[in-house]
Homo-oligomer: A and B are copies of this chain.
Amino acid sequence: MKLKDPDKIQLIYNATLKLVKESGLAALNMAAIGKEAKLGMGTIYVYFKSKEELINSLFHSLKRLNTQRIYATLTPDAPFKINMKELFDNYIINRIDYFEEHFFVEQCSNSHYLDAESRQLDEEAFHGVFELLDRGKKELLVKDMDNAVLTAHMMGSANEIVALCMKQKIKITKAFLDGAFTLCWDSIIR
């Protein structure tokens, strides 16, 4: 018998990401995915039960990957500000390098496609940031404010700055990253 091709799923994922990036989730359709991935429509249904399952499956996969990537490279035992900068740089670079993926996740987050399980995946991504902020507070570096508010402030800033970079095709230099970080740092320290 013939086995499933392990590459096909990634092919379908990539086609989906590209199409959503180009025209938004609302315009996504199975025929287009097939064409973009150079597969017959029926083939997609070998790997996914339905369009909804495909979307949820891709969403899950991206969420998992993303959480890994951001926290992977924090230097253990480094001073607070160093860790903060590492996290910030990781986050920004990650958002840019995997722009398509993040765009897809964002579009899904406010759609009717996501199932209950998918909707819960957000929480855990903040865990690492919250821990780091707690440490900053203990060291009397960080303002005594709600972690959720501090995090929202920094991530909101980072996201919008990435959006700006993509729109204006700004090349991310070290100087640019340092500038963006300074804004966030100055805001959270007391």
Contact = CB atoms under 8 A, between A and B. Distances in A.
Interface string A145-160: 1001110111111111
Question: How many copies of the chain does the oligomer comprise?
Answer: 2
A27 B156 contact: no
A103 to B, nearest CB: 7
A93 interface: no
Contact of A156 (B103, B148, B150, B161): B161
Given A145-B179, A153-B157, A110 B164 contact: no
A151 to B, nearest CB: 9
Q: How large is the interface on A (under 10, 10 to 19, 20 to 34, 35 or more residues)?
A: 35 or more
A112 interface: yes
A107 interface: yes
A113 interface: yes
Interface stretch (A3-11, A38-46, A83-91, A180-188): A180-188
Nearest to A20: B110
A164 B149 contact: yes
A91 to B, nearest CB: 12
The residue among A26, A113, A155 with the most chain B CB atoms within 10 A of its own CB is A26
A157 B148 CA distance: 12
5 contacts: A23-B111, A26-B112, A145-B179, A149-B164, A156-B158
The 9 closest A-B pairs by CB, nearest first: A156-B160, A187-B187, A156-B156, A26-B26, A27-B112, A24-B111, A152-B160, A23-B112, A183-B187
